[in-house]
Structure 1
Amino acid sequence: MSTAERVERCRVCANPRLDTVVDLGAMALTGVFPKDEPTAVPRYPLELVRCARRDENDTDRCGLVQLRDTAPFDDMYAPGYGYRSGLNRSMIAHLAHRVRRILDRVELTPDDLVLDIGSNDATLLRQYPAGSATLVGVDPLAEKFRRFYPPHVRLVPGYFDTDSAAAEFGDRKAKVITSIAMFYDVPRPLEFMRAVRDSLTDDGIWVLEQSYLPAMLATTSYDTICHEHLEYYTLDQIEWMAARSGFTVLDVERNGVNGGSFALTLGKRGEPGPEAAAALAALRREEAALGLHTGAPYDDFAKRVAEHREVVRDFFDRSRRAGLRTLGYGASTKGNVVLQHCGIGPDDLACIAEVNEDKFGTRTPGSGIPIVPEREARALRPDQFFVLPWHFRDMMLEREREFRAGGGRMVFPLPELDVV
């Protein structure tokens, strides 16, 4: 079996001091849904560490929170990889909003190149009007998702870097580059950022969006910690890297996606407008007040993560004693972290209801819970659904009004266990 690569120095600034934030132990890869024996899914360490700064004025060290180990990419992004953007109405609407914001800032022509790195099933690229630009998606799982790409969107298989961009596009530069929920997946972020810069026109923009570390800490959303997500960012680290890559952060926007994310617009030239400058300044102040250069916020987070396991186990024990039938709802990658951390298995959840046909007949990695179509789960007449994609709470509650009206309960594990 392949082994994970241990990181001895910070992935960005090479600081050798990496302090543990929380150690979730060895877990089966959270993004792979096996059709056969779930224990066959490779297990790799899931320890979160931080690049330790001397103090708040230390600019030599970047302070990045990151995974201690990098699992093999061929294992993480195998054919059993399960995430698809286009299955969730909230995500489709969010990506449409992201494209509208881009079009408000940039005037495109059919000759312009728009590049989406980690394009998944082309949900974002489909939000651009056909003919507005040359639309290209880059994704290592190209063949799995190819059928979702409309004819006017070109799909390039593989990973993005300077060499692959030069081989594919030659001297042609992109007017817009996007990387949504993927920049935190790259093992060498500074190198990646410089490759993006080299691939942009002088007046082009790079829009990146990923989970926001302070939101993860505040909501105890340790399910954000998975093998794919190698880094956990604040504005501070993005600006640290931008200053060393020839980029300027032009704008920032926070949102509730995936439990709390932030989107940034970077450019090779220009300055933030007054409104964006104010938003950036406010975020810098907020981050400074959190004391993220100290161990305190991370120690508190680790304590709550450990306590959450006990709360969840108690919930299942009480539900079993009360004779309640509990089924899972939404077989999400993030949910696999909760399942494994809390020791939840088929004795707790007989199955998990799912809408993604690719997951029907598979099991959750490590925990081995069968994944079935929603209609099969409903036929079992559950008393309550344990909602793994809890960050879509409002949408789930609206969607399950009939179930709740009939006495059914929706159980959200995070930010705190809540039964509705």
Structure 2
Amino acid sequence: MNASPVVLEVTAAGLTSETPSPAAGTSTCRCCGASLTETFADLGMTPLANSYVDPPRASEMEPFYPLHALVCSDCRLVQLAEFESPQTIFSNYLYFSSFSDAWLGHAAEYAARMIERFGLGAETPVVEVASNDGYLLQHFAKRGIPVLGVDPAANVARAAIARGIPTDIAFFGARTAHRLRETHPAPMLMAANNVLAHVPDLHDFVEGFRVLLAPGGVVTFEFPHLLRLMERNQFDTIYHEHFSYLSLFVVERIFGQHGLLVFDVEELPTHGGSLRVFVRHAEDAAKAETPAVERVRAAERDAGLDGMDAYRRFAARPVETKRALLDFLIGAQRAGQKVVGYGAPAKGNTLLNYCGVGKELLPFTVDRNTHKQGLLLPGTRIPIRAPEAILEEKPDYVLILPWNLRDEVAAQMSCIRAWGGRFVVPIPTVEVF
């Protein structure tokens, strides 16, 4: 049998470390090591959701991988096998946080609240893991607070550096944390927004926070809440760069194995319903657990997340949405009506590939991200154009693929009402408004 492949950790100085990676397609739980046998959602074969295609390469083959989410019958972690390495997925990343007005507002509010709650200032450094283009850390830096970003995607890290946010280009884990501890002051606040689900080696990643966080410091993690995914049929948030789908039930178990404890939690509307958990060193008794933690635990128990039946029932939900979306698109086409897309998010690529929607039903989509404009969606090869294309084509319907931003998109594109255009969202059910 071949040995496990080696993952090279990329840093600003080059290839500096090696960590073992689970074999591709592994069928053991990345949290507890148990065998995986229970299906959560089987979405067929799809390409990597962020592997956008340059038009000159449109006729070339692209790899498709099983998009089959499993749930561990021992610890209840919902997860995908690792078919492609994080290096392939994230080293040149086309998601830039600064293109979403709503997300920028979310970041500014977070920074203001953390500064006030924890009394942050010039002597209390802040580190963000998966810092992207500096969209969040800029708000701390403007207040004179020392900041450091850590992100493996060199292209987005360069954008952060250009706006004055120092960024270490690296995959975060225990080894990176030890290196940073030797060269930077230990942070009193660490932020990790929408990254915990993106790492195949959860234990190495979480250990990095234990190593780097200063005594008395706080880490905040934000991640889409599995409970909301299940309640609201958000199956399109399943794609290969999301290795795990997280509940408080599971993350408390993982953190606890690394001497970290959740002492507070907030429920957020972002990404269709997220959790922000506040984490401390286990020995930091000064931060008592708030009642909010038990409220979320109770909600998960009431929904059956500590058993298996709720997970087994979810498997039928994507099939219902697939039928409804195809009924709508085919019906509109037969009625002589044009439907185009808005947005080119990863979730949209999961949806379109699973439902088998191509250019014959959705001739193009648009996106404000100039880095995506002119490219083709993976798998479906649907062209991505600038938002102005909607004004030129005057479609009858605009299908909002980033449905979590429906209000923002509807406000930005309200001009379609002038010719009688209407919006459509596919999740939790197909809705025209």
TM-score normalised to structure 1 length: 0.92
Distance 1:202 1:145 in 2: 28
Distance 1:206 1:318 in 2: 49
Aligned residues: 408
Which residue of structure 1 lines up, in the alignment, with residue 118 of structure 2? 106
Contact 1:404 1:410 in 2 (8 A): no
Which residue of structure 2 lines up, in the alignment, with residue 170 of structure 1? 182
Q: What is the deviation of 1:220? A: 0.6
Distance 1:282 1:394 in 2: 28
Distance 1:4 1:361 in 2: 35
Distance 1:25 1:69 in 2: 15
Structure 2: 5+ residue stretches without partners:
6-21
2:129 pairs, out of 98, 117, 120, with 117
Provide the secondary structure at the position in 2 that maps to 1:264.
strand
The answer as to 2:400 corresponding to 1:387 is yes
Amino acid at match of 2:351: V
Q: What is the deviation of 1:151? A: 5.1
1:127 pairs, out of 139, 151, 162, with 139
After superposition, what is the alpha-carbon deviation per residue over 1:181-237, rounded to whole angstroms, capped at 9, x for unaligned? 001111121221121111011111111101100100011111110111111111111
After superposition, what is the alpha-carbon deviation per residue over 1:44-88, rounded to whole angstroms, capped at 9, x for unaligned? 2211111103xxxxxxxx221111334222331253x32111101
Pair 312,301 (structure 1): closer, same or farther in 2 beyond 3 Å: same
Which residue of structure 2 lines up, in the alignment, with residue 352 of structure 1? 365
Amino acid at match of 2:186: K
After superposition, what is the alpha-carbon deviation per residue over 1:321-343, rounded to whole angstroms, capped at 9, x for unaligned? 11001111111111101110111
Structure 1 runs (4+) deviating above 4 angstroms are none
Provide the secondary structure at the position in 2 that maps to 1:98.
helix
The answer as to 2:20 corresponding to 1:5 is no
Distance 1:139 1:51 in 2: 29
Contact 1:4 1:71 in 2 (8 A): no
Which residue of structure 2 lines up, in the alignment, with residue 140 of structure 1? 152
Which residue of structure 1 lines up, in the alignment, with residue 240 of structure 2? 227
Amino acid at match of 1:34: V
After superposition, what is the alpha-carbon deviation per residue over 1:307-358, rounded to whole angstroms, capped at 9, x for unaligned? 1111111111100111001111111111101110111111111111111111
Contact 1:340 1:366 in 2 (8 A): yes
Q: What is the deviation of 1:118? A: 0.6
Distance 1:385 1:17 in 2: 39
Which residue of structure 2 lines up, in the alignment, with residue 50 of structure 1? 71
2:300 pairs, out of 268, 281, 287, with 287
Distance 2:249 2:413 in 1: 40
Amino acid at match of 2:65: Y
Distance 1:119 1:4 in 2: 28
Distance 1:28 1:110 in 2: 45
Provide the secondary structure at the position in 1 that maps to 2:391.
helix
Alignment of 1:10-409 (within 5 A): 10-36=29-55, 37-38=57-58, 40-53=61-74, 62-79=75-92, 81-130=93-142, 132-149=144-161, 152-170=164-182, 172-268=185-281, 269-270=284-285, 273=288, 277-409=290-422
After superposition, what is the alpha-carbon deviation per residue over 1:83-132, rounded to whole angstroms, capped at 9, x for unaligned? 11110111111111222232122222324321111111110111214353
Distance 1:185 1:221 in 2: 17
Distance 1:92 1:259 in 2: 17
After superposition, what is the alpha-carbon deviation per residue over 1:136-157, rounded to whole angstroms, capped at 9, x for unaligned? 1111112344134455420111
Structure 1: 5+ residue stretches without partners:
54-61
Contact 2:39 2:312 in 1 (8 A): no
Distance 2:388 2:362 in 1: 16
Identity %: 29
Provide the secondary structure at the position in 2 that maps to 1:5.
coil
- Of the structure 1 ranges 392-401 and 180-189, higher mean CA displacement relative to structure 2 is found in 392-401
Distance 1:67 1:232 in 2: 9
Distance 1:4 1:404 in 2: 51
Pair 361,320 (structure 1): closer, same or farther in 2 beyond 3 Å: same
Pair 384,358 (structure 1): closer, same or farther in 2 beyond 3 Å: same
Which residue of structure 2 lines up, in the alignment, with residue 56 of structure 1? none
- Give the superposed CA RMSD: 2.0
TM-score normalised to structure 2 length: 0.89
Contact 1:85 1:120 in 2 (8 A): yes
Distance 2:136 2:180 in 1: 21
Distance 1:295 1:355 in 2: 41
Amino acid at match of 1:16: S
Contact 1:332 1:388 in 2 (8 A): yes
Distance 1:8 1:192 in 2: 20
Amino acid at match of 1:217: M
